[in-house]
Amino acid sequence: MSIIIFVVILIAAWQFFYWLSVDMLELCKSYAVPSPIGVAERFADLLSDGSLLKATGNSLLRGIAGFAIAVIIGVIIGLLINHFNYLQKNLKPIVLGVQTLPSVCWVPFSILWFGLSTKAILFVVIMGSAFSIAISVDNAIKNILPIYTKAALTMGANKKQLYTYVIFPASLPELVSGLKQGWSFAWRALMAGEVMTTSIGLGQTLIMGRDLADINQVMLVMLVIVIVGIIIDKCIFSVIEKRLLKKRGLAA
């Protein structure tokens, strides 16, 4: 209930700022400042013709597909880095360096290699999140208490059993946190890819609003991007984290 009250107060303050700066003091132009009423009107328009739902659905499908591929690649790289000292010393610094690149840096490569297509968007998503997941996997395994692996090896566990029954279960909570961070990188990378292509999605809808000088549409798409990100976090990653912590007696 408190969050609803807070959101209502926030919207009211936003509308008051619009009236004060645009209508009363005339400090800003109406086309340069979004208003809650204007955003609500654009929401109704885009919802009625189905374009907003289509754009959101397309973006979610691309984001999930790219993130799934990034998880596979990231987990493999993370396991290799953790398992081989040579890769730990030589490959990990490169992975860390590449991870710091903004996702938009991969857009020129994606367009040159794949053209203005869905493959180009997926490439940006994968490159924007796979390396973050790889680092998270390596760190999650490293942070396992050494006593766990030592006890398993003492009892005669082989490598397969060590990873299956000790390393993976012990690192699972931190792995989920790393995947959540990887999803946030993937979602942001997706928007960077979509704004540069002609494929229908939230990013393209955002650019259309800019081209039409419709600040309310731009603001609406930004809010949808934020809301979708929050829903994915609260309904999937946070639920999994709470269950894992509760199972281990670390949460009520």
pLDDT for 99 beyond 90: no
pLDDT for 118 beyond 70: yes
For a pLDDT cut of 70, what percent of the chain falls above it?
97
In whole angstroms, what is the distance from residue 52 CA to residue 205 CA?
8
Which residues, 6 or more positions from 205, have their beta carbon under 8 angstroms from its beta carbon? 46, 51, 52, 55, 217, 221
In whole angstroms, what is the distance from residue 10 CA to residue 159 CA?
54
pLDDT for 81 beyond 70: yes
Q: Return the amino acid letter for 202.
A: L
How confident is the model over 53-66, as pLDDT tens digits? 998 898 999 999 99
In whole angstroms, what is the distance from residue 182 CA to residue 203 CA?
19
Domain ranges of the chain: 1-33, 34-247
Of 133, 134, 127, whose CA–CA distance to 80 is shortest?
A: 134
- pTM exceeds 0.85: yes
Whether 89 contacts 64, CB under 8 Å: no
Of 46, 135, 129, whose CA–CA distance to 87 is shortest?
A: 135
pLDDT for 252 beyond 70: no
Tell me which architecture the domain covering 34-247 has in CATH.
Answer: Orthogonal Bundle (1.10)
Average pLDDT over residues 146-155: 81
